[in-house]
Structure 1
Amino acid sequence: MIAQTELKEKVPAGNDAGLRSDACAEGCSERHSHHSSQTKNNLITRLNRIEGQIRGVKGLIEKDTYCDDVLNQIAAIQAALNGVGKLLLEGHMRSCVVERIESGEYEVIDELLVTVKKLMK
C-alpha cells in the first residue's frame, strides 16, 4: 500500500478520496474509486472492527476456547466482511459502473459479473 502523501500526488486533483490499487496488473488503466469521506471512514471503521475481531479469535484459539464459540465468532467476522463487500459493491455500481457504461466501456459489465461471482462464493 502506498502512503497517503504518495496517494495525493498520484490521484488527479479533486479526486483525493479515491484509492489506488497496487495489485493492478501491467497494462491496466489507472482507475480510482469515488468514495465520499463519510463512506471511506465508515468502511475503515468497519474494517478496524473486523481486524479486532480476528485478533480476538486468535486469542480464543490460544486459550483453547471451545470450538463452537470460536466458530460462532468466525461466522460473525464473515458476516461483517460481507457487509463491507455489499457497501463497496453498491458504491461501485452506482458510480464506477454507471460512468464506464455511459462512456461506452461495456466490458465493465463482464468485470462486474466476475466480481459478483467471487463475492457469492
Structure 2
Amino acid sequence: MDEKNECCCHKTKERSEKEYKDLINRLSRIEGQIRGIKRMVEEDAYCPDILIQVSAANAALNSFNKVLLSNHIRTCVADDIRAGKDETINELVNTLQKLMK
C-alpha cells in the first residue's frame, strides 16, 4: 500500500515523556470523573447533580481534545507540510469536521 492510501489507523506517534504524562494524567482524571458519575447513578443521586458532573466530564474531554489537536498540528501536521505531504491538510480538515459534529 503506498503512503498516500495509508489508513490513518496504522499511523503512530512518538510523544515526548512530558506530553505522554500530561495526556495520561488528563485521561486518568476523566476516568475518575466517569467512575464518580457511575457511582452517583448507582446511589440514585439527584438528576441535576449528575448532569452537572457529566458536563464537567465533557469539558475535560474537550480540553483533552484541544491539547491533543494542538500537539498534533505543531508536530505531525507541521512536519508533513514541511516534507511536502499536502494530504495531511485534508486529513486535518476531515478530523476537524468530525470533531465539530
TM-score by length of structure 1 reads: 0.73
Separation in structure 2 between the aligned mates of residue 93 and residue 99 of structure 1, nearest angstrom: 9
Partner of 1:95: 75
User: Post-superposition shift, 1:53?
Assistant: 0.6
Say whether 1:28 aligns with 2:7.
Answer: yes
| Partner AA of 2:83 in structure 1 | S
Separation in structure 2 between the aligned mates of residue 40 and residue 47 of structure 1, nearest angstrom: 11
Contact 1:101 1:108 in 2 (8 A): yes
Alignment of 1:1-121 (within 5 A): 27-28=6-7, 30-121=10-101
User: Post-superposition shift, 1:35?
Assistant: 2.1
Report runs of 4+ in structure 1 exceeding 4 Å deviation.
none
- Show structure 2 runs of 5+ residues with no match: 1-5
Higher relative contact order (CA 8 A, sep 6+): 2
Separation in structure 2 between the aligned mates of residue 84 and residue 65 of structure 1, nearest angstrom: 27
- C-alpha root-mean-square deviation of aligned residues, in Å? 1.7
